[in-house]
């Protein structure tokens, strides 16, 4: 038997919102009949709550206890209208804020990195190469140092992409402080600095995290600390609404990062969300529509030249529209080959990234100084490569009849001068000595089939592949999308150069397909990546080829290992609940996995007992059982949450004798007492002081107990219980005995009881059974690295 959520788990129930969450207004007027208690107290709007703690939170379950029922009935039509109104206002707010931030982010990166390149290029022009390198490397180092210092000291949660954390949150796992205001600020500033520092990292992942942060903060309902509360905001003090907002926020993040509103919605749907409703589709669509419209307006302003030197929007949109894309059957074999190798490369990428992350975890674990030294050394190393490698390439003469100046000096362009004489350009510098966005633009551009050497492309590909793997794990906000796109583009363009004139496709299109194959091989999304690439490149005619490439590269890569975000989540130890059951779960019954002594409370429980149990266990939910003489035989009355017990203890709503508290309960408490607390607020049993006398008193738990928790019979297979647990989005699942008459409840299942690690530790013989997914495995490689 088990009641097992480790301490630090948070309790959460999605209340009342259930009736409210539909896009259509619903109304109801009066309680049809009241049960048990007839008192019509003044209790306010419902949402029976809980406190939020370090790890884990969620469910879509409706809590049904007398207190809440009472409270729910008192809601009026106006409150529902307020709720719906606020829901859309919040989406609007999220869309506005995220698009402004995304725009600001791009503008800052463009201008900081642009200034850096202009200064360096001017020195190169004056042939002061050493000084140029020193300026380049030291400005990169300063930016990286700043980004890593603020990340390491102020908000370590802001390091990395943030997508795994947000994905885990939407699955019900609250990593601590991922949505705090600190994290948000560090994420934005750090991301700008790190990207400007020419590190091979992206800004899409941080944008997703930023969007989710904004959504979570918006949905937190103001701040008591800063006295920013508003009664309309109380409706959102529950997990379900917060999760919905965070989903919209992450969609807005992708929409702002790539100017890809539909892709953003699909990304949130396919990759981020664990539970999805069509109402959410509509709201996230609205959010990303706001992003698209605002960005469009801002770009209009920039196109009028009001955004500084490098303010041509800078928002990624690699236009590859060319009027005459035509491809025939003979173009398919090279594309297939590209997709297969891209899939293999993607899985190698995931494998290596995972290994490097493990290594970095060891280094970063040694202290903040080590973290910062690691980040700085990667920066110096990157600067050396970016500045050093172009020297390997020989200068090439500028082609005639170009529409753009050649060589381009200072500002971004396809033909960088670097150290070459006038009239010549350095093809490697055009890729390396540029922001990633400009490099991608170069690689995707058409009519440049003869711009690059084979060797340059190969060097660029290898360097990007390597750099993006070693850059991700350092202590700065860092995304994976752009590095993968740029690496894939180099790979695709190289394939295109090999295929040469045997294909109708130009090298720019090969680069797009190469990006698709590496994205598919690494991130393993389908529809969302497809739409993102289409929206990035603005060319619908490529659609069939992109679909083909994504399908093949994902299939190939899936044969080797998992999605990059899942690997990161696993390495971070998040108890992510998968949709499907592992095969061996069908062999086990729920009885086989519930462990440990079960803590049960009685309907009228002694205060001392409650305090003792809360202090000695970390459980979050406790079955409440009525025993004789209260009733004829032991009856499972329901489930009470730790948070509610703490609220009761704090309020000292005690009784001298074990007797019903009656309607008193509804007067004494308001729904706010039980509402979900803001991010990071945790009640602790140790903070509650009780006298000896109080410890001998009783609490009537009945009005605060969820009287109809979901239950399963002990003989049900674990796989079947998992379906219920996962689909309904539960946090606690009570296990009842097959044969009544014994205790009415034999255990509680929680998320942790479904984790393979837990099950395998209980049943080690399952380890030997070959139940694992069919995948090619290379154990010797693991040993080697």
For the bound state, the minimum distance from the C-beta of residue 526 to its own copies, rounded and expressed in Å, comes to 5
Please, which residue, 267 or 452, has the CB nearer to its own copies? Answer: 267
Please, which residue, 740 or 757, has the CB nearer to its own copies? Answer: 740
Please, which residue, 103 or 418, has the CB nearer to its own copies? Answer: 103
**Of the candidates 363, 398, 723, 743, which one interacts with its own copies according to CB under 8 A?**
723
Structure tokens at 446: 């058409």
Taking residues 612 to 631 in sequence order and writing x for each that binds its own copies by CB under 8 A, - otherwise, the string is: -------------------x
Region binding its own copies by CB under 8 A among candidate stretches 424-432, 578-586, 613-621, 678-686: 578-586
Other Cβ atoms closer than 10 A to 683: 18
Do 779 and 34 form a contact (C-beta atoms < 8 A)? no
Crossing angle of helices 527-537 and 543-558, in 10° steps, is 140
Region binding its own copies by CB under 8 A among candidate stretches 101-109, 257-265, 450-458, 506-514: 257-265
Please, which residue, 341 or 534, has the CB nearer to its own copies? Answer: 534
Residue with tokens 């509103």: 261
For the bound state, the minimum distance from the C-beta of residue 779 to its own copies, rounded and expressed in Å, comes to 17
For the bound state, the minimum distance from the C-beta of residue 590 to its own copies, rounded and expressed in Å, comes to 9
**Of the candidates 535, 605, 700, 753, which one interacts with its own copies according to CB under 8 A?**
535
**Of the candidates 92, 356, 373, 541, which one interacts with its own copies according to CB under 8 A?**
541
CA–CA separation, 255 vs 390, rounded Å? 34
Please, which residue, 328 or 656, has the CB nearer to its own copies? Answer: 328
Contact between 300 and its own copies (CB under 8 A)?
yes
Region binding its own copies by CB under 8 A among candidate stretches 150-158, 285-293, 494-502, 685-693: 285-293
CA–CA separation, 440 vs 492, rounded Å? 12
Of residues 391-410, those binding its own copies (CB under 8 A): none
**Of the candidates 134, 325, 356, 547, which one interacts with its own copies according to CB under 8 A?**
547
Taking residues 9 to 48 in sequence order and writing x for each that binds its own copies by CB under 8 A, - otherwise, the string is: ---------xx-xxxxxxxxxxxxx---------------
Structure tokens at 361: 């975890």
Which residues touch 82 (CB under 8 Å, ≥6 apart)? 232, 235
Contact between 707 and its own copies (CB under 8 A)?
yes
Strand positions, DSSP E, 285-334: none
Contact between 336 and its own copies (CB under 8 A)?
no
Of residues 627-656, those binding its own copies (CB under 8 A): 631-633, 635
Contact between 548 and its own copies (CB under 8 A)?
yes
Contact between 64 and its own copies (CB under 8 A)?
yes
Of residues 745-784, those binding its own copies (CB under 8 A): 763, 765-766, 769-775
Please, which residue, 398 or 630, has the CB nearer to its own copies? Answer: 630
Region binding its own copies by CB under 8 A among candidate stretches 55-63, 117-125, 167-175, 509-517: 55-63
**Of the candidates 3, 11, 12, 72, which one interacts with its own copies according to CB under 8 A?**
72
Contact between 717 and its own copies (CB under 8 A)?
yes
**Of the candidates 231, 366, 454, 580, which one interacts with its own copies according to CB under 8 A?**
580
**Of the candidates 92, 293, 688, 755, which one interacts with its own copies according to CB under 8 A?**
293
Please, which residue, 472 or 565, has the CB nearer to its own copies? Answer: 565
In 3D space, the residue among 443, 438, 416 whose CA is nearest the CA of residue 427 turns out to be 416
Structure tokens at 641: 């949450």
Please, which residue, 32 or 130, has the CB nearer to its own copies? Answer: 32
Supply the Cα-derived Rg of the chain in whole angstroms: 29
Other Cβ atoms closer than 10 A to 106: 29
Do 221 and 233 form a contact (C-beta atoms < 8 A)? yes
Contact between 693 and its own copies (CB under 8 A)?
no
**Checking phi first, is residue 30 left (phi over 0); if not, alpha (psi -120 to 50) or beta?**
beta
- Please measure the distance between the N-terminal and C-terminal CA atoms of the chain and give it in whole angstroms: 41
Cis peptide before 407 (omega within 30 of 0): yes
Structure tokens at 533: 């690439």
Q: Label the pairing between strands 396-397 and 621-626.
A: unpaired
Beta bridge partners of 748: 734
Structure tokens at 503: 């294909």
For the bound state, the minimum distance from the C-beta of residue 64 to its own copies, rounded and expressed in Å, comes to 6
Contact between 85 and its own copies (CB under 8 A)?
no
In 3D space, the residue among 222, 295, 211, 205 whose CA is nearest the CA of residue 245 turns out to be 211
Which residues touch 80 (CB under 8 Å, ≥6 apart)? 20, 25, 26, 27
- 3-state secondary structure string, 353-417? HHHHHHHHHHHHCCCHHHHHHHHHHHHHHHHHHHHHHHHHCCCEECCCCCCCCCCECCCCCCCEC
Phi, psi (deg, nearest 5) at residue 715: -90, 0
Region binding its own copies by CB under 8 A among candidate stretches 384-392, 393-401, 446-454, 577-585: 577-585
For the bound state, the minimum distance from the C-beta of residue 658 to its own copies, rounded and expressed in Å, comes to 19
Please, which residue, 47 or 216, has the CB nearer to its own copies? Answer: 47
Region binding its own copies by CB under 8 A among candidate stretches 342-350, 530-538, 569-577, 609-617: 530-538
Q: Quick one: CA torsion of 187, 189, 191, 193, rounded to 10 degrees?
A: -150
Please, which residue, 287 or 426, has the CB nearer to its own copies? Answer: 287
**Of the candidates 325, 551, 688, 690, which one interacts with its own copies according to CB under 8 A?**
551
Q: What is the DSSP letter of 717?
A: B
Contact between 724 and its own copies (CB under 8 A)?
yes
Handedness of CA 242, 243, 245, 246 (dihedral sign): positive
């Amino acid at each position: 038997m088990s009641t097992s959520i480790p301490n630090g788990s948070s309790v959460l129930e999605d209340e009342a919102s259930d009736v409210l969450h539909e896009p259509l207004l619903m109304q109801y007027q009066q309680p049809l009949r009241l049960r048990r208690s007839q008192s019509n107290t003044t209790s306010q709007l419902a949402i029976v709550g809980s406190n939020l703690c370090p790890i884990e939170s969620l469910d879509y379950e409706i809590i049904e206890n007398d207190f809440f029922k009472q409270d729910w009935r008192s809601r009026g039509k106006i409150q529902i209208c307020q709720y719906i109104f606020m829901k859309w206002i919040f989406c609007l707010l999220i869309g506005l804020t995220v698009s402004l931030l995304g725009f600001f982010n791009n503008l800052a990166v463009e201008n900081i990195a642009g200034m850096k390149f202009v200064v360096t290029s001017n020195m190169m022009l004056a042939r002061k190469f050493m000084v140029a390198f020193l300026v380049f490397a030291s400005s990169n180092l300063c930016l990286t140092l700043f980004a890593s210092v603020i990340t390491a000291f102020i908000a370590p949660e802001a390091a990395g992409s943030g997508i795994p954390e947000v994905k885990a949150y939407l699955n019900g796992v609250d990593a601590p402080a991922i949505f705090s205001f600190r994290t948000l600020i560090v994420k934005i500033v750090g991301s700008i600095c790190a990207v400007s520092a020419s590190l091979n990292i992206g800004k899409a992942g941080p944008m997703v995290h930023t969007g989710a942060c904004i959504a979570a903060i918006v949905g937190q309902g103001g701040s008591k600390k800063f006295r920013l509360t508003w009664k309309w905001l109380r409706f959102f003090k529950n997990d379900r609404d917060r999760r919905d907002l965070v989903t919209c926020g992450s969609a807005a993040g992708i929409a702002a990062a790539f100017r890809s509103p539909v892709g953003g919605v699909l990304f949130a749907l396919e990759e981020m969300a664990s539970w999805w409703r069509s109402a959410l589709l509509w709201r996230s669509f609205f959010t990303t529509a706001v992003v698209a419209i605002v960005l469009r307006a801002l770009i209009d302003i920039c196109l009028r030249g009001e955004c500084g030197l490098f303010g041509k929007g800078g928002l990624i949109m690699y236009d590859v529209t060319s009027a005459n894309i035509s491809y025939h059957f003979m173009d398919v074999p090279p594309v297939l080959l590209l997709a297969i190798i891209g899939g293999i490369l993607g899985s190698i990428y995931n494998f290596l990234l995972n290994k490097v992350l493990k290594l970095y975890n060891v280094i970063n674990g040694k202290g903040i100084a080590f973290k910062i030294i690691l980040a700085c050394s990667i920066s110096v190393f990157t600067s050396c490569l970016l500045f050093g490698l172009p020297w390997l390439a020989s200068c090439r003469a500028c082609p005639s009849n170009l529409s753009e100046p050649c060589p381009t000096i200072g500002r971004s362009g396809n033909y960088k001068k670097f150290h070459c004489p006038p009239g010549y350009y350095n093809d490697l510098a055009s890729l390396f000595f540029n922001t990633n966005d400009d490099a991608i633009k170069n690689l995707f551009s058409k009519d440049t089939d003869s711009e690059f050497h084979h060797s340059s492309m190969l060097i660029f590909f290898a360097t990007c592949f390597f750099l993006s793997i070693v850059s991700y794990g350092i202590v700065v906000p860092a995304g994976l999308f752009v590095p993968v796109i740029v690496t894939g583009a180099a790979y695709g363009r190289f394939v295109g150069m090999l295929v040469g004139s045997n294909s109708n496709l130009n090298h720019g299109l090969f680069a797009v397909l190469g990006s698709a194959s590496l994205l598919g091989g690494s991130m393993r999304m389908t529809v969302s990546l497809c739409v993102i690439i289409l929206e990035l490149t603005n060319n619908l005619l490529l659609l069939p080829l992109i679909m083909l490439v994504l399908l093949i590269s994902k299939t190939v890569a899936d044969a080797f290992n998992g999605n990059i975000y899942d690997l990161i989540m696993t390495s971070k130890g998040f108890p992510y609940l998968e949709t499907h059951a592992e095969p061996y779960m069908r062999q086990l019954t729920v009885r086989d996995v519930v462990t440990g002594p079960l803590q049960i409370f009685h309907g009228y429980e002694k205060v001392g007992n409650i305090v003792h149990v809360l202090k000695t266990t970390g459980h979050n939910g406790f079955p409440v059982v009525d025993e004789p003489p209260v009733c004829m035989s032991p009856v499972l009355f329901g489930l009470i949450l730790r948070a509610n017990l703490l609220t009761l203890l704090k309020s000292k709503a005690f009784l001298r004798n074990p007797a019903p508290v009656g309607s008193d309960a509804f007067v004494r408490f308001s729904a706010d007492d039980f509402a979900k607390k803001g991010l990071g607020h945790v009640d602790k049993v140790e903070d509650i002081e009780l006298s000896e006398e109080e410890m001998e008193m009783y609490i009537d738990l009945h009005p605060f107990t969820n009287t109809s928790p979901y239950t399963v019979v002990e003989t049900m297979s674990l796989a079947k219980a998992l379906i219920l647990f996962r689909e309904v989005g539960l946090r606690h699942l009570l296990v009842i005995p097959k044969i009544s008459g014994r205790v009415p409840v034999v255990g509680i299942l929680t998320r942790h009881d479904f984790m393979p690690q837990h099950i395998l530790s209980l049943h080690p013989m399952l380890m030997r059974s070959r139940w694992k997914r069919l995948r090619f495995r290379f154990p010797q490689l693991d040993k080697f690295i």
